[in-house]
Structure 1
Amino acid sequence: MFKYKLISMIIFSLAGILCAQDNLSIIRDIRVKGNRFIKEREVLAAVESRKGDYYSLKSLQDDIQAIYKLGHFNDVTLDVEEIDGVDDDQKPGIIVTFIVSEKKIIKTIKIIGNKKISRSKILSEIGSQKRESFDEGQMLLDVQTIESMYRDKGYTSVSVEPYTAVDEKTSKQIITFYVNEGNRMLIKKVTVQGTSAYSERRIRRKMKTRRKKVFKEETLNEDIKKLYDFYRNKGYINVHISKPVVESNEEKTELFVTLTIDEGRRYRVGEITFEGNEIFELDELRKTVSLKKDKIFKQEKLDETLQEIQGLYADKGYLRMRIKTSQITDEEKGIVDFNFSIIEDGLVYVDRIYVEGNTYTKEHVIRREIILKEGEAFSARKVRRSMEKIMNLGFLDDVQIDIQQPEDMDRADVVFEVREGKPGMLTAGAGFSSVDGLLGTLQVSHINLFGTARRINLMWEFGERRQSYDLSFTEPWFMNRPVSLGLNVFDITRKRQFADDFSAYQERNRGGSVQLGPRLTDRLSLSFAYGFKQIRVFDVDSEWADRPDNDPLKITAKTTNSSSLTSSIAYDTRDNIFDPTRGHYGKLSVTVSGGPFGGDVHFYKPIMRGSYHITTFWKFVLSLSGRVGYVESFAPSNDEDIFFEKYYVGGGESIRGYDYRGEIGPPEGGKLMSVFNAEYGFPLVQEYKRTILQFAIFADVGGAWRTADDLTLKIGTPLDYMKSGVGFGIRFKTPVFPIRLDWGYGLNHRPGEDLSQFYFTIGNVF
């Protein structure tokens, strides 16, 4: 409601002035009249016009609307007054006055007649509040809110009457809600009539509207929809449920609910035909059909088919296509045929691409992950992949897509709306594992340094058996090209287990690496990493140090330098690299140490690994992974020199339920290894699109062998056999600090070995 009062005489005189002064008059002052409880500064803060601005009727009209939207006023009018210039050089001006009529302020809200719901509870739910402006419309909504609160508790006959009065001393509003609670009524009986294919009991079990429950109309409506879905997914296309009958007893204490169902005939799927399609061949369209001929009709399969067809066209840019579905039923035979008539409208092209919601992240950081380009045909597949790539940056909580079509129906604007997370993190924690004992961690990381997606991470681990620090930096777009640059330095000191000796020797690894990773395509990437590390072995237990030189279990205290180049190629179709729900990942890497790269250790080490992820139902994800590796020395090194590069299978990163060393494969490590893992997990806590906490069950199997000739696929207790384990765990999912707490139970232990292990691990198995 707006009332604009512009004084005619002033308007005419202003018009003359404006014409004489090049149609420009300056606002000399802005005032507010009529306000009593609302401060003038609050009103003036809402308007755009300011002293010194040129007069604009359109701007003043917008200001009136802005004042009205404050919600404090019943009426807003405008008065414009001309004033003379101060001197000959100064233009005459105007004074703008906004005349307001305030809504009354609520002095108090009274609730009378309430016994079952407290006054404080009611006041916390309604919109009208003490010391705020009175709004009659809001008061009527409050009546509905109070009645809804009572109905949720079973008081279906509740009634609420609102009354208003004005306090004579303060002129403020007093609101009174008179509540007639009535009797509490629970459902006495739910009756389902007309069922023949399924028992009444089975139908009732699918409903939330049940005996001894509070009756809620919205719940009953949801039940009816659920029953329609149930019957239509069982082949009953023409099922009909009559309007439910809800009756009460004379005392108004019990309710009786009756549903009448006309099931109709059950149908099987017959012929499926298409017409109107020119963009796609019939064979391509038939691949989208989830309905199977001669099978019982399922509504959900029909819905899936329609979505697949629409998705097929959307991938090609045909956003305006439509599908008319015709079903022809043969009641005598119980067959239903479907015809999909496709109306193919023209292509929709991408006009502009916008990025919104980023306040810290630089826009180009997000834009370079978008594979959809302006001017090309719209592609739903490219939009989905772009959203996945944006989420894979790791520092965004959510990304949504908005497709806006302006007047030109053949073009569309695409808006990527992101929600930024917390890119910086200071983490401190403690954990316990069977291998490292009590372990403390302190980590400082930032995965979006200066809003550029650069990553820096410093982690310090400290405990009785392990002390380490690790500093890394990653530039994802080196020199503004799709090439990653990584730098890393580390220093790790550990008490090492060997065979059944829990503290056979100490080992210190320190060094660094530099890595370049060109991305050839959206899915295919290469990596080249040069690394140098110094390995020092000391405090060797005499049981291992004093053995003969030809004994494979002899450990010698020494220091060696390793200089190596690791080359790898990877192919990745996972939807989310931190928490995949579908897709696969494969990687082949080869490390060459020594030779032309120098150092004391000469070997080559190929490793092949892969993983596969699929969502089975709801958010339950099955993940499978496997890796196979081999290592071999070359002159002048021998097997003793590559002692630290051999494979040790067991522990939290391979076969859970066993020690890291000594229970699977040869005690001195194997040249060949294979490990296979399966996990079935589901989220416990999610925020937007990101999983925070996950529960998983797992099964592992694998082994290590001295040479390829010793390889066996048998599973059992001997050291050279493969071994298996099962267990469960909790995952704390973060892009920079994923933590796994696992309990594993080994299925192939030898006598005397611990049957289970607990693991505190940083990193992902997959």
Structure 2
Amino acid sequence: MKKALTAIFLLIMPVFLFAKAPELKNPNIKEIRFEGTIITVSSNQILKLLPFKIGDAFKEKLFNDAIKTLADPRLSPFNGDVKGYLKDTPEGVILTFVLHENPLINKVIFEGNNSINKSDLSDIIPIVEGMHYNTDDKLTSIQRIKDKYLNEGFIEASVSASLVPVDIKQNKYDMVFTVSEGKKIVVEKIEVAGAAEVNSGEVKGVMKTKEQVFILQSGVLNMEDFYGDKERIGMLYQQKGYLDIKITRFEWKIEELGDDKHKAIVIYVGLVEGPKYYVGDITITNNVLFSEEDLLKFIELKPNDVYDKVKIDIGRYMIYNKYSDNGYLYANVSYQMIKNPTNFMVDTVFYIHEGERAHIESVTLNGNTKTKDNVILRELIFDEGELWVQTKVRQSYEKLVQLQYFGNVNFVPQPGSAEGLVNIDIQVEEQRTGLITFGIGYGTASGFNGTAQISENNFLGTGRVVAFKGEYGEKRQLLELSFTEPWLFDTPTYLSISFSFSRYLYDNIPVDDNQDGIIDGTNINYVSNNTVSLPTFISTNRYYKQAFSFGLEIKKRFGVYWDGFLSYGLSLYRDMDANFKNPLILSSTWQPNTSLSNSLTKGYTFKNTLGIGFNWNSTDHPLNPLRGILGFLYLYNNGGLLGGDIHYIRAKYGLSWYWNPFWKLVVALHGSGEFVMPQFYAQADGMKFFYDTSDMLYFDGVYEMRGWMNYPYRGEAKAFYSSELRFEIYGQELWGVFFLDMGSLWSKYTEWTFEPNNYLFSFGFGVKLNIPGLPIRLYLARKGGFDNDSMSWKLEKNQYLLDNWQVVFSIQGLF
């Protein structure tokens, strides 16, 4: 019986397998209907989600795809309960979808968030007002809020979310997140066990996780930093020759500390250091293109040095770069450490697989949802079809980072269509480039000021910059409109145009209004002692400078690091509203400031400026360079053949060098000079050299010669030198700094010299907060100078190091 049934089944099975689905009377789609709970979504909006339209031929696969799309909360405003029906008619197919609209988010509300403000939480969640609710976004939002609280130190925080009806008929609900913060729990103790040869303080020093120290270190436990600390500790030991280091314990616990038994985080680190190793023989094998001697130059270690595995890794990377700069992208450089447990020497053998040369087949872009392709491609210094050169690829990457359009940039090489070909996939993550900002700031020299600015640094994704700025402060009021085209006529030529109105307060003016030979507000007789210096001078004497200005600048890049510019400026200004009559100026000697007196009575002054200059920038970051060089040379022609009331030439040069010896420690050296000199061309009246008081050179005491605010000296020549030791405190944003500034002013440009006479100095320490739109500088500075009588360097006022420190503070903040 079974055999008979089997035979019958085998006979009829092909009929079922190859039978065609019933043919439709008319395969064209006649009508698409939507039923169910649909309140705020229009039919046209739904139709845009479908892969077909009325009049198309019906396809079952596309019909099923449409149901999946409508049921996907990431793509549609409906929940997952979507049904689809087909009705076959002679006039065509009628499709019906039954849909249930998700709630529409009216407002996003946070409750219980006492320690983190609403805007910070709103920025990290995918739910926004006006979107439709879905469960995935709710769960993602809850997790992100919890992570945010965790990284702020609220380890026991809990978050819940609920929909609260606002207008059921209109399907409107508030999305309410309720936060139970709990108490902030931070790291108060890090216990390191087993650190014998390496100091436990050094172990703690390389960890990003820190114990709480008042306001200097928050003690917040960041999980990413914590897990990275294990690798950093291992690297520290491997730098010191302890290649067998074992981290036997690495964990954190919440414990009760102190007499009050408060909760705190304790981190436990257990170490077994092992023996210290030294360098034996270093050899390189399988190298054909370059000699062993050439490649060994990239290894800093020599026999019998302490074995530093980090330097070995750096050497391996540098050898690879040598090959990749010559087109050998697929070269492989590896090494083997052969440890001798008897004498603790380590022989190192580098193995080279040179491979074939690679050429760039194509370049693809991903992630540039706003920025146009050509804006990215024009920054690349390599072309398709070229030999792969690692240096060019790295420099192209740095140029894209310097644009500051992207939060993240990655160059990902991928195999091409044939051996020896490589495709470069450039992956970018757009960041906000348009800003509407309001701010309040304070500077030790500039006083309080408020600013408002509307700017777009990547206008319509073209790289163009449009900005309008207003500023109102104690010393300056400004309105400025500017436009910048970074690639004029699709060439690396930069064009900038600006219009502005400004009003600036000049204060602390030395005067002798009663003309008794004494500087008002002091007991200094400038007639009998006409070279006496005022280290600082503060008074109520002031005047205003009001100006209307137009600026035009064309800049062109030459190669990777060079650019040159040509600029024109037109300014119409007047000095006005002085509350004094007889101003003085200290140049080589005290004398009446006739230039200022004449300007105050003259009315408007007309000034024409033509500038030319060159810049060099090989730094690796626009805000916080770790390495590279910045240099410039500028020459500005004022008046002369251009005409106007002001006639002089200003020359300015500068050079800054950044070096990163290890970690995030940066040595920065800077030197600059500036001169005000006579015109080459004389006016009809013989005038070749005439400038306004505001054209004279000076130190602001904040960015140059820190601590020397209100220094009254002015001159035609200036030199400024600075050295800094910078160190990272928190990411790229917050850095600490130790500094030494030196500089001098000369009344005549011909008096400039390297001789120490009249040089000033200041030294100190402070912090820099380098966030675009929020630059903060806070320093403590001690001043001094070269004493011509004793021919020695002396501190100001007295020689006690701890006395007379100056606070230097500048902030320009957003709110």
TM-score interval (norm. to shorter): 0.5 to 0.7
Aligned match of 2:744: 703
Displacement of 1:476 in angstroms is 0.9
Aligned match of 1:300: 310
> Is 1:12 equivalent to 2:18 in the alignment?
yes
Aligned match of 2:545: 507
Aligned match of 1:610: 655
SS at match of 1:519: strand
Contact 1:348-1:412 at 8 Å conserved across structures: yes
Q: For 1:207 and 1:619, locate their aligned partners in 2 and report how far apart those are by CA, in whole Å.
A: 13
SS at match of 1:235: coil
Aligned match of 2:508: 497
Q: For 2:327 and 2:585, locate their aligned partners in 1 and report how far apart those are by CA, in whole Å.
A: 74
Aligned match of 2:241: 235
User: What CA deviation, in whole Å up to 9, does each residue of 1:327-385 have, x standing for no partner?
Assistant: 44555554332221211111232222122222222221122112232222233322222
Given the superposition, is the C-alpha separation of residues 299 and 58 from structure 1 closer, same or farther in structure 2, using an over 3 Å criterion?
A: farther
Aligned residues between the structures: 631
The structure 2 residue matched to 1:388, chosen from 394, 398, 410, is 398
Contact 1:10-1:81 at 8 Å conserved across structures: no
Contact 2:360-2:423 at 8 Å conserved across structures: yes
Displacement of 1:201 in angstroms is 12
User: What CA deviation, in whole Å up to 9, does each residue of 1:191-232 have, x standing for no partner?
Assistant: 989x997899999999999xxxxxxxx999999877765654
Given the superposition, is the C-alpha separation of residues 69 and 227 from structure 1 closer, same or farther in structure 2, using an over 3 Å criterion?
A: same
Structure 2, gaps ≥5 residues long: 1-12, 35-42, 75-79, 99-132, 144-149, 151-190, 210-223, 251-267, 511-536, 786-794
Q: For 2:349 and 2:772, locate their aligned partners in 1 and report how far apart those are by CA, in whole Å.
A: 48
> Is 1:619 equivalent to 2:664 in the alignment?
yes
> Is 1:542 equivalent to 2:548 in the alignment?
no
Q: For 2:276 and 2:444, locate their aligned partners in 1 and report how far apart those are by CA, in whole Å.
A: 60
Displacement of 1:544 in angstroms is 1.8
Contact 1:290-1:304 at 8 Å conserved across structures: no
Contact 1:574-1:583 at 8 Å conserved across structures: yes
Aligned match of 1:557: 598
The structure 2 residue matched to 1:524, chosen from 555, 562, 574, is 562
Given the two structures, how large is their TM-score scaled by the length of structure 2? 0.64
Q: For 2:692 and 2:269, locate their aligned partners in 1 and report how far apart those are by CA, in whole Å.
A: 79
> Is 1:289 equivalent to 2:327 in the alignment?
no
> Is 1:337 equivalent to 2:347 in the alignment?
yes
Displacement of 1:609 in angstroms is 0.6
Aligned match of 1:313: 323
Q: For 1:759 and 1:206, locate their aligned partners in 2 and report how far apart those are by CA, in whole Å.
A: 30
Aligned partner letter, 1:544: P
Displacement of 1:619 in angstroms is 3.3
User: What CA deviation, in whole Å up to 9, does each residue of 1:618-673 have, x standing for no partner?
Assistant: 434333222111112245347664543221124223112112441xxxx3x21211
> Is 1:363 equivalent to 2:373 in the alignment?
yes
> Is 1:468 equivalent to 2:478 in the alignment?
yes
User: What CA deviation, in whole Å up to 9, does each residue of 1:545-597 have, x standing for no partner?
Assistant: 799xx973323232432222111112111122333222111111111222211
Structure 1, gaps ≥5 residues long: 1-6, 33-40, 99-130, 143-148, 150-189, 210-217, 245-256
Contact 2:734-2:767 at 8 Å conserved across structures: no
Aligned partner letter, 1:403: P
Spell out the pairing of 1:334-733 with structure 2 (5 A cutoff).
Answer: 334-405=344-415, 408-490=418-500, 491-499=502-510, 500=537, 502=539, 503-538=541-576, 539=578, 541-544=580-583, 552-555=591-594, 556-558=597-599, 559=602, 560-634=605-679, 635=682, 636-637=686-687, 641=691, 643-662=693-712, 667=713, 669-682=714-727, 691-692=732-733, 694-707=735-748, 710-711=751-752, 720-733=758-771
Aligned partner letter, 2:741: D
Contact 1:497-1:505 at 8 Å conserved across structures: no
Aligned partner letter, 1:525: D
Contact 1:537-1:557 at 8 Å conserved across structures: no
Contact 1:14-1:82 at 8 Å conserved across structures: no
Given the superposition, is the C-alpha separation of residues 410 and 297 from structure 1 closer, same or farther in structure 2, using an over 3 Å criterion?
A: same
The structure 1 residue matched to 2:279, chosen from 269, 288, 307, is 269
Given the superposition, is the C-alpha separation of residues 13 and 311 from structure 1 closer, same or farther in structure 2, using an over 3 Å criterion?
A: same
Q: For 1:79 and 1:427, locate their aligned partners in 2 and report how far apart those are by CA, in whole Å.
A: 50
- Percentage of matched positions with identical amino acids: 24
Q: For 2:660 and 2:616, locate their aligned partners in 1 and report how far apart those are by CA, in whole Å.
A: 20
Q: For 1:682 and 1:525, locate their aligned partners in 2 and report how far apart those are by CA, in whole Å.
A: 30
Given the superposition, is the C-alpha separation of residues 363 and 309 from structure 1 closer, same or farther in structure 2, using an over 3 Å criterion?
A: same
Aligned partner letter, 2:583: W
Displacement of 1:321 in angstroms is 1.9
Q: For 2:579 and 2:225, locate their aligned partners in 1 and report how far apart those are by CA, in whole Å.
A: 71
Aligned partner letter, 1:267: Y
Given the superposition, is the C-alpha separation of residues 318 and 57 from structure 1 closer, same or farther in structure 2, using an over 3 Å criterion?
A: farther
Contact 2:413-2:424 at 8 Å conserved across structures: yes
User: What CA deviation, in whole Å up to 9, does each residue of 1:402-458 have, x standing for no partner?
Assistant: 223256343232222222222222222223334333322222222122222111222
Displacement of 1:756 in angstroms is 2.2
Q: For 1:233 and 1:285, locate their aligned partners in 2 and report how far apart those are by CA, in whole Å.
A: 21
Aligned partner letter, 1:492: R
RMSD: 5.4
Q: For 1:471 and 1:645, locate their aligned partners in 2 and report how far apart those are by CA, in whole Å.
A: 24
